Amino acid sequence: MLYSSRGDQGDRDLLLLFIILTAWETGSSQVHYSVLEEAKHGTFVGHIAQDLRLELAELVPRLFQLDSKGRGDLLEVNLQNGVLFVNSRIDREELCGRSAECSIHLEVIVDRPLQVFHVEVEVKDINDNPPVFPGTQRNLFIAESRPLDSRFPLEGASDADIGENALLTYRLSSNEYFSLDVPTTDQQVKPLGLVLRKPLDREESPELHLVLTATDRGKPELTGTVQLLVKVLDANDNAPAFDRTLYAVKLPENVPNATFVIKLNASDLDEGLNGDIIYSFSSDVSPDIKFKFYIDPLSGKIIVTGHIDFEESKAYKIPVEAIDKGLPPLAGHCTVLVEVVDTNDFAPELIIKTLWLPVKEDAQLGTIIALISVIDRDEGANGQVTCSVMPHVPFKLVSTFKNYYSLVLDSALDRERVANYEVVVTARDGGSPSLSATASVSVEVADVNDNAPAFAHPEYTVLVKENNPPGCHIFTVSARDADAQENALVSYSLVERRVGERALSSYVSVHAESGKVYALQPLDHEELELLQFQVSARDAGVPPLGSNVTLQVFVLDENDNAPAVLLPGPGGGAGALSQLVARSVGAGHVVAKVRAVDADSGYNAWLSYELQPVAGGAHSPFRVGLYTGEISTTRALDEADAPRHRLLVLVKDHGEPALTATATVLLSLEDSGQAPKASSRASTGAAGAEAGLVDVNVYLIIAICAVSSLLVLTLLLYTALRCSAPPSQGACGPGKPTLVCSSAVGSWSYSQQRRQRVCSGEGPPKTDLMAFSPSLPPCPGSVDGSGDPQASLDSSGKVGCSNILFFYVCIHLVLQNILIIL
């Protein structure tokens, strides 16, 4: 059969070009053939010249050579036709033995140019070898006293072929004494044997001639035979006999080597060699017994030669035979039972079989955490084990079966208090001395959502300047959740409500993750002085838990409103203030009053009046009260004064920067007879009214000074009480400064801690408290109270002082407003 590797025409051209360009080329195995062994001389193998792409005419000129690599001239090439043929006998078994694969490797060498080709010829097996026995005759010596079913091993035949040609079957010639025991395919280790089927009788048949035939499965079948000569021997009539058939002895484990076990005694009634006894372990005794014990062949004494371990084997059953020296030898048998006595040499073994972890902190009492088994390889009291668990843990052991325990929950868990337990289980046996073992079980407590987010304070106070930029960060709320993972993931939201006619969410918003509170639009102190709302913190647990915190956002006033002059007439419209003045009025006479208001509060609403210089530098006979706005004469008027005076009054608040407004006052001087009288009467009435007003102002200023003094004392008391609070409350930290202002109307005290109007409910704003902020620090419009003791006020402490402070400030503001209006 031919296996050839051929390429296309392009590969052939490339190969020819490569041969021309090189002087030497070595090829790999290019051609494969197969041939049956024992083929006759001249048997065709293959067209080697054609398969190697060599021209027949080139074989001789190019010095064609065939090298069989030491295989002789088994194969040859006909140079006339390029055919590879069998030249001499090929014996596969001689070449390759019993190898499954057998090949002859050839090298073809041609010159001009030099080329080397490799040819492989596979030699296939034929059934040319019959089964062969080791000898032509086998002698067997069998005593006539051998019992039935005795087995006598035979050596099988061998076949030099392979495969099916080497598979053998056996048959025994017909006879009445023996049968052939042939092992099955999976019992090849067991030898071929004869089995005694009928008792032998030397006197009747001293010799038996049998023929054993082996046949292979080749085609044709080949056979081999061996002659079996069975010689029947005379019997040794008496076998050795032991005192007892069973000897029992107890042996402690871990005894040293050479320890005496027992001495056996057997007797034989025969004499001479037939009565000499040799002791030995039976041939089928296990190797372990031979390793651990030794029997003296002459005395029958058994000693220990290996390690005796009760846990390995509790007893050893040793078959012993006593054989005499007769021909044939006879044997007596007994059994030695060695019982191993246990000692406490093994500590208990703890095995954690199953773990149900982690354990939820709300798990029910009795929940199984782990299954534990304990093993002690000792027995009796040495193997009786008691288990216990370490104290002060919320677990206990419950016995479920012999040496099986359940670790169960004994008391409630709280992950926030203890998140992990290292539970140590101890097992102790009842031996003396007692041995013990421990095992550690790491119990992780899984979180459940049993803790709501908690704020550090129930209420925070935030100070924000009005006119803040939209989206300004004004505060950060922070809540801590004692749970873990998603149960501790806190999100923040507003508790929606209406502020007046608008929704709360149109004023402020809160970032769901960071808790930052933003003002969505500029806040106006004049519109909203206190914005009180709640922020909710909820975790991501199932079900979610939450809590609320109250934020009081005080809008600090800024000087963003200029003074507005109030003119007489319906609605106080724009224009000039006109007033008739009699020339007969004296010095200090109040001739008019400029009234102005400021929508701001505090210093930003405290107005002062100034009379602008007259154009041309002329000295005016009038002046204006710095804080009252009253225009009065500086001297008595005379005829030289102009009949008309145009006064420009500058109204300025005390904000930073100050805002101003101007009022124009037109004064007309009258000197007629009637008019002066009427004017005199009017002036007299006006003078009386103005004098009464001045008196009222004096009383108001005195009242304001008194209330301011009480306010200062209250502030001092409030500060002292706050500083007496524990340090953890932050009461002694830097607080809001208290400003005492001196002016022409007295010393006034202002607080920066409260506002005038609050908006904490559904109704319209109400007057509560007003704070004067003449010198606020230049912050970007917000005070972040997260962690700053100045940003939050303790709303739960010092309630009494706060109420007193609130009361005095209210009285102070009422009196101030009355004074400003007047």
Q: Do residues 79 and 66 touch, judged by C-beta distance below 8 A?
A: no
pLDDT for res 807? 64
pLDDT for res 803? 56
- Is the confidence at residue 453, as pLDDT, over 90? yes
Q: How confident is the model at residue 461 (pLDDT cuts 50, 70, 90)?
A: very high
* Token pair listed for 321: 């035979």
DSSP letter at 507? T
Q: Choose among 453, 451, 464, 452: nearest CA to 551.
A: 464
DSSP letter at 684? H
* Mean per-residue pLDDT over the chain, rounded: 79
pLDDT for res 649? 92
CATH architecture of structural domain 454-556: Sandwich (2.60)
Q: Tell me the DSSP string of 85-137.
A: EE-S---HHHHHTT-S--EEEEEEEETTTEEEEEEEEEEEP-S----B-S-SE
Q: Choose among 698, 556, 526: nearest CA to 627.
A: 698
Q: Choose among 248, 441, 235, 213: nearest CA to 335.
A: 248
More confident residue, 564 or 354: 564
Integer Cα distance of 311 and 314 in angstroms: 7
More confident residue, 706 or 75: 75
Torsion angle in degrees (nearest 10) through CA of 42, 47, 49, 55 = 110
CB-count exposure of residue 410 (10 Å: 0-12, 13-18, 19+)? middle
- List of residues 6+ apart from 624 with CB closer than 8 A: 594, 609, 610, 611, 630, 631, 632, 647, 649
Integer Cα distance of 131 and 392 in angstroms: 83
- Is the confidence at residue 769, as pLDDT, over 50? no
Question: What is the rounded average pLDDT of the residues 684-702?
Answer: 54
Q: How confident is the model at residue 697 (pLDDT cuts 50, 70, 90)?
A: low
- Is the confidence at residue 458, as pLDDT, over 90? yes
Chain centroid, CA 685 distance in Å? 93
- Is the confidence at residue 226, as pLDDT, over 80? yes
Name the pairing type of β-strands 114-124 and 24-36: parallel
- Where in the chain are the domains? 31-124, 137-233, 241-341, 349-423, 454-556, 564-670
pLDDT for res 330? 86
- Is the confidence at residue 269, as pLDDT, over 70? yes
Q: For the domain with range 31-124, which CATH number is right: 2.60.40.60, 3.40.50.300, 3.30.70.260, 3.40.50.2300?
A: 2.60.40.60
Integer Cα distance of 412 and 427 in angstroms: 25
How many other CB atoms are found less than 10 A from the CB of residue 189? 6
The predicted-structure confidence for 608-644, as pLDDT tens digits, reads as follows: 999 988 776 678 889 999 999 999 999 888 888 888 8
DSSP letter at 794? -
pLDDT for res 289? 93
More confident residue, 810 or 741: 810
The predicted-structure confidence for 145-157, as pLDDT tens digits, reads as follows: 888 988 888 888 8
Question: What is the rounded average pLDDT of the residues 436-442?
Answer: 91
Integer Cα distance of 506 and 22 in angstroms: 94
Query: CA triplet 527, 712, 463: central angle to 5 degrees?
Result: 35
pLDDT for res 407? 92
Question: What is the rounded average pLDDT of the residues 336-340?
Answer: 94
Class of 137-233 in CATH? mainly beta
- Is the confidence at residue 260, as pLDDT, over 90? yes
Q: Is 59 helix (H, G, I), strand (E, B) or coil?
A: coil
Superfamily of domain 349-423: Cadherins (2.60.40.60)
The predicted-structure confidence for 639-679, as pLDDT tens digits, reads as follows: 888 888 888 999 999 988 999 999 999 989 887 554 444 34
Integer Cα distance of 355 and 280 in angstroms: 54
pLDDT for res 78? 86
Strands (E) across 217-298 are located at: 223-233, 241-242, 246-252, 260-263, 266-267, 277-281, 293-295
Integer Cα distance of 86 and 72 in angstroms: 12
Q: How confident is the model at residue 190 (pLDDT cuts 50, 70, 90)?
A: low
pLDDT for res 573? 47
DSSP letter at 255? P
Phi, psi of 660 (to 5 degrees): -130, 165
* Token pair listed for 771: 């704070």
pLDDT for res 100? 74
- Is the confidence at residue 335, as pLDDT, over 60? yes
Integer Cα distance of 389 and 398 in angstroms: 10
Using alpha carbons, list the distances in angstroms from residue 558 to 276, 655, 768, 775. Answer: 132, 8, 18, 10
- CA-based R_g, the chain, Å: 63
Sheet bearing 359-360, strands edge to edge? 359-360, 436-446, 420-429, 385-389
The predicted-structure confidence for 707-755, as pLDDT tens digits, reads as follows: 777 777 777 776 777 665 444 333 233 333 333 333 333 333 333 333 3
Superfamily of domain 564-670: Cadherins (2.60.40.60)
Buried b / exposed e across 353-388, counting CB within 10 Å, b at 16+? eebeebbebebeeebbbbbbbbebbbeeebbebebe
Q: For the domain with range 241-341, which CATH number is right: 2.40.50.840, 3.40.50.1170, 2.60.40.60, 3.40.190.10?
A: 2.60.40.60
Task: Read off the amino acid at residue 468.
Answer: N
Q: Choose among 107, 104, 123, 122: nearest CA to 28.
A: 107
Q: How confident is the model at residue 469 (pLDDT cuts 50, 70, 90)?
A: very high
The region, left, alpha or beta by phi > 0 then psi within -120 to 50, assigned to residue 787 is left
Q: Which helix (H) or strand (E) holds 181?
A: strand 178-181
pLDDT for res 574? 52
- Is the confidence at residue 689, as pLDDT, over 50? no
Same fold, 349-423 and 454-556: yes
pLDDT for res 820? 56
pLDDT for res 345? 83
The predicted-structure confidence for 12-71, as pLDDT tens digits, reads as follows: 444 444 443 433 344 444 788 888 888 888 889 888 888 888 888 888 888 888 887 777
Using alpha carbons, list the distances in angstroms from residue 1 to 86, 95, 122, 581, 647. Answer: 14, 20, 9, 149, 138
Integer Cα distance of 678 and 786 in angstroms: 69
Integer Cα distance of 259 and 251 in angstroms: 9
Using alpha carbons, list the distances in angstroms from residue 708 to 240, 367, 694, 700, 773. Answer: 135, 70, 21, 12, 16
Strands (E) across 40-93 are located at: 44-47, 65-67, 75-78, 83-86
